[in-house]
Amino acid sequence: MSSSPHKPLVYIISAPSGSGKSTLVNELLKSVRDLDFSISYTTRAPRGSEQNGRQYFFVSRSEFEKMVRDGEFLEHAEVFGNYYGTARRFLRDAEYKGHDLLLDIDVQGAEQIQRKLPEAISIFILPPDRKTLEERLRRRSEDREDVIQRRLLTASREIQNYGRYNYILINDRLPESIEVLRAIVWSERGHRADRPSTDEPTGTMAIADRCRLANIGERLKPILASFELPVESGTG
Ligand code: ADP
Ligand code: 5GP
């Protein structure tokens, strides 16, 4: 390992539930080297095939509260009635290993990280429109109808925060979205002097730049309209 300390790049990914975030994150982790996933702690019960220590560390409320008191979290928040938190040790481990770190967290967590780590790179994933989001939530068939309706309402609220993120990724066609997400990661690495990029295809920066908040412009309008949000929303 090199003697100079490695400052990990921290990527924050947020999205309304059902947008395809888990699918995209899984694909990204398979194909990008030296990128660790921060496994969050949560008080919610495991779903389906979820395993402790893989998607999450599942803990009791009292265990979670003790971790908060002991200062073990970089950020934590209550989401859908359960606690979720990012353990500080994942950042330390990434630093030690010379890796970068990916956080899959909600908009409240993103705000806390942005205050503590202003250089973190934030990505907000959007569905192509409300109807598609509803279809994806149904197709996943993990939730009851009332939960799906609640997730759709929450989605509208969360989407209003898109303006706090560096990049906006509209998850329409999956293969394209994976390519764009990879381009963002590579492009950000390429900007770092201590991380000369070696294996990124040409055009990567241009693909990533199209998703920068400042460049997303007109592509957002129909999405916001489908959620009945004003076009000028986006600052929370
Ligand atoms: P999230 O993690 O954001 O809640 P998931 O990754 O579980 O969302 O995706 C929700 C559903 O939508 C899943 O059934 C997934 O296979 C599907 N999905 C994800 N991305 C796409 C896409 N680009 N096109 C079509 N279906 C998708
Ligand atoms: P789910 O229970 O569906 O896996 O996740 C619900 C929400 O909690 C998602 O928006 C997810 O990004 C968010 N989340 C997961 N882990 C954390 C975390 O450690 N901190 C915060 N603030 N949110 C998290």
CB 57, CB 41: distance < 8 Å: yes
Ligand 2 pocket, residue 140 CB under 6 Å: no
| Tens digits of residue pLDDT in 122-161 | 999 999 999 999 999 999 877 789 989 998 999 999 999 9
Please tell me the predicted confidence (pLDDT) of residue 147: 87
| Tens digits of residue pLDDT in 196-229 | 555 566 789 999 999 999 999 899 999 999 999 9
Please tell me the predicted confidence (pLDDT) of residue 235: 59
CA distances from 81 to 44, 45, 126, 157, 171 (A): 8, 12, 23, 16, 27
Q: Give a yes or no: residue 69 inside a domain.
A: no
Among the bound ligands, the one closest to the CA of 79: 2
Strands 82-87 and 40-42: antiparallel
Taking the centre of ligand 2 as the mean of its atom positions, its distance from the CA of residue 200, in whole angstroms, is 30
Tokens at 10, concatenated:
């921290």
Among the bound ligands, the one closest to the CA of 107: 2
For the domain that residue 160 is a member of, what is the CATH number?
3.40.50.300
The residue whose CA has the least distance to atom 12 of ligand 2 is 105
Please name the residues in contact with 50: beta carbons below 8 A apart, sequence gap of 6 or more: 56, 58
**Dist. CA 55–CA 26, nearest whole Å:** 10
Mean pLDDT estimate for the chain:
92
Taking the centre of ligand 1 as the mean of its atom positions, its distance from the CA of residue 101, in whole angstroms, is 22
Among the bound ligands, the one closest to the CA of 113: 2
Ligand 1 pocket, residue 141 CB under 6 Å: no
Ligand 1 pocket, residue 15 CB under 6 Å: yes
Taking the centre of ligand 2 as the mean of its atom positions, its distance from the CA of residue 220, in whole angstroms, is 24
Q: Give a yes or no: residue 61 inside a domain.
A: no
Ligand 2 pocket, residue 19 CB under 6 Å: no
Q: Give a yes or no: residue 58 inside a domain.
A: no
The single-letter code of the amino acid at 80 is: F
CB 100, CB 81: distance < 8 Å: no
Domain that holds residue 218: 10-38+100-226
Which atom of ligand 2 is found nearest the CA of 38?
19
Over residues 173-186, mean pLDDT:
97
Ligand 1 pocket, residue 16 CB under 6 Å: no
For tokens 């979205």, the residue is 177
> What is the number of domains present in the chain?
1
Ramachandran region of residue 117, left (φ > 0), alpha (ψ -120 to 50) or beta?
beta
Per-residue pLDDT band for 1 (boundaries 50, 70, 90) equals very low
CA distances from 41 to 51, 93, 212 (A): 12, 16, 30
**Dist. CA 224–CA 236, nearest whole Å:** 13
Q: Give a yes or no: residue 2 inside a domain.
A: no
CB atoms within 10 A of CB 174: 12
Ligand 1 pocket, residue 23 CB under 6 Å: yes
The residue whose CA has the least distance to atom 13 of ligand 1 is 140
Over residues 60-73, mean pLDDT:
98
**Dist. CA 73–CA 101, nearest whole Å:** 15
Q: Give a yes or no: residue 209 inside a domain.
A: yes
Q: Give a yes or no: residue 157 inside a domain.
A: yes
Ligand 2 pocket, residue 86 CB under 6 Å: yes
Q: Give a yes or no: residue 214 inside a domain.
A: yes
Taking the centre of ligand 1 as the mean of its atom positions, its distance from the CA of residue 227, in whole angstroms, is 18
Over residues 114-126, mean pLDDT:
98
